[in-house]
Amino acid sequence: MPKPSHIERFWTYVNKSDGCWNWTGRTANKGRAYFQANRRRFIAARWLYEHFNGPIAKGICVLHSCDNILCVRIKHLYLGTQQENIKDRDRKRRGWQVNKTHCPRGHEYNKENTRLFGPNKKYRACRKCSVLFSAAYRLKLKKGESYVGYIEKASANS
């Protein structure tokens, strides 16, 4: 029996539905879909895009309009730069930090306790933790000691 072509083998790992066509083969690197052909490992969506559309220039990524990294449906794939991908992620508010409601020390992110900074005010910091850190740092300078323990003590009292 002849060996199946790469594209025939590729489709055996795809679960087609009305929406996304999800990859059921190997995944790695935070759930990214991988496909092996000619003894090389490829990102599945990129391999498929190149199979149908030709080579992709260096520095260009295959992006998903559906935001599903396992999707390999050609209609859901388009080309863009890493910077465009990041802007798309921020615009759609799907970054991993977006859903956090409290800082690592347990203070709530709300209007009074959150300081926005950076380009386009897209980063945030806990005001209470900033005050605690500054006070602990000043104590360290004054006493010549480590300030880490002071932050923990001050955080417990707030």
How many whole angstroms from its chain centre is CA 60? 17
Q: Is 96 a residue whose pLDDT tops 70?
A: no
CA torsion, ordered 126, 132, 137, 139, to nearest 10 deg: 170
The predicted-structure confidence for 125-137, as pLDDT tens digits, reads as follows 889 988 888 887 7
The predicted-structure confidence for 43-85, as pLDDT tens digits, reads as follows 999 999 999 999 999 999 999 999 899 999 999 999 999 999 9
Higher pLDDT, 148 or 77: 77
Q: For residue 114, which of 104, 105, 106, 103 has the smallest C-alpha distance?
A: 103
Q: Is 41 a residue whose pLDDT tops 90?
A: yes
Q: Which domains does the chain have, with CATH numbers?
A: 6-98 (3.90.75.20), 100-158 (no CATH)
